Amino acid sequence: MKVFVIGVGLIGGSLAKDFKKHLEDVTIFGIDLNEENLNKAIELGVVDEKAHLNDVAQADCVILSVPVDVSSVIIEDVLNLVKDDAIVFDVGSTKFQICKQVRNHPKRRNFLATHPIAGTEFSGAEAALEGLFEGKVNIISEVEKTAFKLQEWALEVFKKIGMRIRYMDPVAHDKHIAYVSHLSHISSFMLGKTVIEKEQNERDIFDLAGSGFESTVRLAKSSPQMWTPIFKQNKAFVLESLEEYIVNLNNFKNFIQQDDYQAVHDEMLNTNRIKEILNGINKKK
- pLDDT per position as a tens digit, 149-161: 999 999 999 999 9
Length of the chain: 285
Report which of 139, 131, 137 is spatially closest to residue 164, judged by C-alpha positions: 137
pLDDT grade for 200, boundaries at 50, 70 and 90:
low
**Calpha distance 209→153 (Å, rounded):** 48
Query: Which architecture does CATH list for 172-284?
Result: Orthogonal Bundle (1.10)
Q: Where are the domains of the chain?
A: 2-169, 172-284
Query: What superfamily does domain 2-169 belong to in CATH?
Result: NAD(P)-binding Rossmann-like Domain (3.40.50.720)
The secondary structure of 43-59, three-state, reads HHCCCCEECCHHHHHHC
- pLDDT per position as a tens digit, 43-96: 999 999 999 999 999 999 999 999 999 999 999 999 999 999 999 999 999 999
| Phi, psi (degrees; rounded to nearest 5) at 216 | -70, -35
Let me know: does 98 contact 230? Beta carbons within 8 Å. Answer: no
The answer, yes or no, to whether residue 274 has pLDDT greater than 90, is no
Do the domains 172-284 and 2-169 match in fold?
Answer: no
